[in-house]
């Protein structure tokens, strides 16, 4: 159970990092509708972080081994542009999805935890796709050229 608690605490930290990166993108987002989507998704990630931390028993215990093992992923500088913040947030969502997936592949005795993790995994993968799609929209000419190159037959 200690390994599961440590994994849940790690997932909690990843969800919080994801929420923070979404908030940073939201602050820089030029589209008000997308800003609202990001604010909602950041709130969902904060709720996930809180719930996972509670399940791990890691809330406000700054002197515990779980809190001491915090992994810090460097955030982009505060003056980053929207595209670099989007990419960073997509990377955070990717890390979270990978961690959820890894834990879901483990044998879990509690079906409620499995269901909860599957829900958060689905949310993280959807978030990753949303952010990557939005990042691709920043440079549509490059995306179209890449797609055209892939579909064109080779020249001999």
Give me the pLDDT at residue 25, please.
94
Give me the pLDDT at residue 66, please.
42
Give me the pLDDT at residue 63, please.
41
112 inside domain: yes
Residues of the chain with pLDDT under 70: 1, 58-79, 139-156
* Model pTM score: 0.77
Contacts (Cβ under 8 Å, ≥6 apart) of 35: 26, 29
145 inside domain: no
Give me the pLDDT at residue 26, please.
93
46 inside domain: yes
Q: Residue 36 belongs to a domain with what CATH number?
A: 1.20.1260.10
150 inside domain: no
Parent domain of 115:
2-59+80-139
37 inside domain: yes
Q: Which residues of 21-42 are buried (b: 16+ CB within 10 A; e: fewer)?
A: bbbbbbebbeeeebeebbeebb
How many residues comprise the chain? 156
By C-alpha distance, which of 24, 121, 38, 118 is closest to 76?
24
126 inside domain: yes
156 inside domain: no
The SS3 call for residue 79 is coil
- Counting the structural domains of the chain, the total is 1
131 inside domain: yes
């Amino acid at each position: 159970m200690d390994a599961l608690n440590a994994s849940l605490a790690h997932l909690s930290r990843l969800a919080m990092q994801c929420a923070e990166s979404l908030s940073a993108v939201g602050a820089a987002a030029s589209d008000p509708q997308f800003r609202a989507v990001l604010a909602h998704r950041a709130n969902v990630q904060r709720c996930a972080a809180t719930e996972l931390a509670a399940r791990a028993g890691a809330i406000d215990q700054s002197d515990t081994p779980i809190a001491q093992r915090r992994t810090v992923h460097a955030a982009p500088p505060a003056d980053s542009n929207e595209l670099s913040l989007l990419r960073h947030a997509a990377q955070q969502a990717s890390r979270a999805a990978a961690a959820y997936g890894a834990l879901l592949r483990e044998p879990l005795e509690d079906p409620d935890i499995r269901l909860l993790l599957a829900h958060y995994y689905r949310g993280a993968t959807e978030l990753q796709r949303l952010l990557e799609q939005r990042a691709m929209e920043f440079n549509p000419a490059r995306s179209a050229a890449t797609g055209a190159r892939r579909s064109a037959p080779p020249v001999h």
